[in-house]
Structures are given as structure tokens and as C-alpha cells.
């Protein structure tokens, strides 16, 4: 899946994107976009994540809240994707927050020094 091969989605509407191994449900709101990641984020599924981020930043404020409660696996590639998305949000005056990571995912985020982006609900 290449982000450039996919059509742009209508603005201000919830959307779901998926690939084998990862489903992302995005819900825009006035403050930004809530994105629930379900499955695994690795080399194979990163294009799906990048596409969802591109769509979210295209249609709304540059604030992303990533719900990681159902993300079962995070590879180094996925952690880098979070870091790059965070940088894009910051450059546009917003931010990225990682919400409720599972224990295994939290460990990798700790190793990458990304705990400052995490909150728990």
C-alpha cells in the first residue's frame, strides 16, 4: 500500500484504513484527530499508518491522539513512525499523544525515550 496510490478522503469525517495486520479508526474532532490502532505496527503496516496520519493532518488541526490500547506489537519501524508523526505535528503547531499503550508496546516506547508523549486514561 502506497499512500500516493490511495484517494484523499473527505474532510471532517471518520474513516477506517486497514492492511493485513493493522486497522486504524480515525475520528476527527475540533481539537484534532483520535486514531485507534488495532493490530501490529511494523515495516509491512507502516504505509497504512503514514496514510492515516497524512489524511488526519490534511483535514484537521495538527493534534493526534493515538489510542494504543489494542496495538499488540510495535516494531522499531513503528516507533520511528510515531516520532516522525510527532515532528510533523510540532512543526505545524500541534502535537502527538500516545494513549494507553499495552505493556509490551510501552517497553519499546520507554527504550526510545518516548514516555513524555504517553498518557493514560
Q: Going from the N-terminus, what domains does the chain have, and what CATH number goes with each? A: 3-119 (3.30.750.24)
Interior/surface letters 75-85, b for 16+ CB within 10 angstroms, e for the rest: beebbebbeeb
What pLDDT is recorded for position 62?
A: 95
pLDDT in tens, 62-119: 999 999 999 999 999 999 999 999 999 999 999 999 999 999 999 999 988 888 777 6
Q: What pTM did the predictor assign? A: 0.86
CA dist 121 and 119 (Å) reads: 7
pLDDT in tens, 10-63: 555 789 999 999 999 999 988 999 999 999 999 999 999 999 999 999 988 999
What pLDDT is recorded for position 60?
A: 84
Amino acid at each position: 500500500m502506497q499512500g500516493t496510490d490511495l484517494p484523499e478522503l473527505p474532510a471532517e469525517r471518520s474513516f477506517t484504513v486497514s492492511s493485513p495486520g493493522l486497522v486504524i479508526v480515525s475520528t476527527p474532532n475540533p481539537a484534532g484527530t483520535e486514531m485507534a490502532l488495532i493490530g501490529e505496527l511494523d515495516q509491512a503496516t507502516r504505509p497504512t499508518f503514514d496514510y492515516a496520519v497524512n489524511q488526519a493532518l490534511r483535514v484537521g488541526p495538527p493534534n493526534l491522539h493515538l489510542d494504543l490500547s489494542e496495538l499488540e506489537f510495535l516494531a522499531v519501524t513503528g516507533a520511528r513512525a510515531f516520532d516522525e508523526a510527532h515532528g510533523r505535528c510540532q512543526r505545524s503547531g500541534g502535537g502527538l499523544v500516545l494513549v494507553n499503550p499495552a505493556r509490551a508496546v510501552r517497553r519499546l516506547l520507554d527504550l526510545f525515550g518516548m514516555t513524555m508523549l504517553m498518557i493514560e486514561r
